[in-house]
Amino acid sequence: MSQYRAPLDDIRFTLFEVLNVEPIFAQIGKSDASRELVDAVLEEAARFTGEVLAPLNAVGDRGCTFDPLTAEVRTPEGFAAAFAQFVEAGWPALNAPAAFGGQDMPQLLGAALKEMINAANLAWGNFPLLSHGATEALLHHGNAWQQEVFLKPLVSGQWTGTMCLTEPQAGSDLGLLRTRAEPLSDGRYAISGTKIFITAGEHDMAENIIHLVLARLPDAPAGSRGISLFIVPKFKVDAYGQLGERNHVACGALEHKMGIHGSATCVMNFDAAEGYLVGEPHKGLMAMFTMMNSARLGVGLQGLGLADRALQNALRYARERLQMRALSGAVQPDKAADPIIVHPDVRRMLLTQKALVEGSRMLAYHAFLMLDIAQHAADDAERQRADALAGFLTPIVKACLTEWGNECTYLALQCFGGHGYIAEHGMEQLARDARITTLYEGTTGIQALDLVGRKLLQLQGAGLQALLQEANAFCQKEADNPALAEFLPQLQHVLDNWQQISQQIAQMAAKNPEEIGSTAHDYLFICGYSLLAFWWARALAAVEKSSQSDAFKQGKRETARFYYARILPRIHGHVAALGSGADILMRLPAEHFG
């Protein structure tokens, strides 16, 4: 069975030495999030995820069960009890405003908690994941009554939330959805339709489930401009939030999936279910994007968490597994063979995982820090800059961290050899669980289109320019730092190239709109690998001033060298592919594919 221990040393290093969050928290009015308090939260999160959630990961792989007669879903043994502990400890309220019962801690601290949860037990972590998104949607778009009645129990964890978008005929194209919302005489609505792939749509872990549902009003215009958002509770509530009879919404089936078996992925049927309009009519997509962007960053952390757990187990196994001798001679001559960590190819796989995991942590945590600054900074210009940065980083974090999560879990499985394919070690579960992360909350292709079509072209690259300014300023500041002498020239070249490629895409798209889709995938990874080059340089600057152990410092230096030498050159392939243009993709007629 795979094991997990929260990497607190690296989490603290990222927070306090690379990002230097303590003074930033104080500047944005989060002075309660002191180093002492954050350390205490991290320690308790590590204890809960390591002792309570991690042992349930293999149990969860046995799956949820569905009773078609009662339409009830039972979660795996131990899941509900773990959720009760989670609620009792106040974890669901960590980031929510104090006005609604929250602890008002920074989003970044919540990100560290989510990383640990995802690594310990991804399937279990899906149940509270969308509650956070529902909370964000109601905070920004709900009226006072909705916030009082629905938001407070979501914040406490007494109720959980879902996001009901997808329908059988409408995947990512929400303009095709058919779910209807008929106005009732008292201001409520009757919601009818079927939604699929609904995470935590039905379960036994909370007393009520609050579905946020996209539907069409009778007078709705066609397409995505005719979508409204509705609250549809599992159990009806009165004006004071007291639970009533069961609403006309029920699970019709559980999806049979490749992985995350402990997460209830439901077909949900709405049969004139009572609901409440959130925000303005026909403006539901804007409100839903508040949930989606929160979920997208959360799914990026899923890729990171799984990759970190996979690395921990691959490293442990590589140190223990004896097989063959080192090419340069026996390392442990008193034993029958050497541990496989002496072999160059095993080291290649381990260092690839280490470079991507630790680089991804810095990248993701920076995105969440930008969310905190965008929401709470006193200066309007600073908030706008942070908001542009967070917006530009969101599709990169979601797509790259999940794609790298897939790569890392498969590399970790490969380190185990044939034993990785066997269920008892738990590695094949991590690989199966990781696969979904590139698909839900928008596939990698959808993230790439958002990055190029909206963030780069429509918004004129405001977030990119802020990133490049920050990275170029870093290069100038550290120009005389001997610890960075071997890295800064290459980093500066990467940054200049990134700027030029971005301009090239804009020129290509102006001539042919197909270039937006043609360049998007490669541009996404050019951004991801460029950002990791920047963050590994930042890590090296921080580690030289760090009080961490010599072994920790050497680990950072050598991993950075590996990243620059072995992973960063992947950019060249993406640049070459991007430059080939859309015609190479579009020239072959569809009927000639085979």
CA angle 87, 95, 281 (to 5 degrees): 100
Tokens 């601290």 correspond to 109
Strand partners, 250: 269
Of 175, 400, 437, 385, the residue nearest 285 (C-alpha): 175
**What is the residue type of 2?**
S
Burial class (CB in 10 A: 0-12, 13-18, 19+), 352: buried
d(CA 438, CA 436): 6
Of 302, 154, 309, the residue nearest 231 (C-alpha): 154
Contact 522, 497 (CB under 8 A): no
- Classify 279 as helix, strand or coil: coil
Spatial neighbors of 206 by CB under 8 A, at least 6 apart, are 83, 157, 158, 159, 160
Q: Which sign does the torsion angle of CA 368, 297, 111, 312 carry? A: negative
Q: What is the four-CA torsion angle of 337, 339, 345, 348, rounded to 10 degrees?
A: -170
Q: How far is CA 323 from CA 252, 318, 340, 341, in A?
A: 51, 10, 6, 10
Contact 159, 209 (CB under 8 A): yes
State both tokens at 546: 């760090």
HSE at residue 489, side-chain half, CA atoms within 13 A, is 3
**What is the residue type of 447?**
Q
Tokens 């221990």 correspond to 5
Element (H, E) at 527: helix 514-543
Contact 309, 119 (CB under 8 A): yes
State both tokens at 480: 């005389």
- Classify 4 as helix, strand or coil: coil
β-bridge pairing 208-215 and 159-164: parallel
Active site (catalytic) residues: 441
Contact 118, 405 (CB under 8 A): no
Strand partners, 251: 268
Q: Would you list the DSSP string of 463-516?
A: HHHHHHHHHHHHHHHTTT-GGGTTTHHHHHHHHHHHHHHHHHHHHHHHH-THHH
- Classify 377 as helix, strand or coil: coil
Burial class (CB in 10 A: 0-12, 13-18, 19+), 71: middle
Q: How many CB atoms lie within 10 A of CB 311?
A: 25
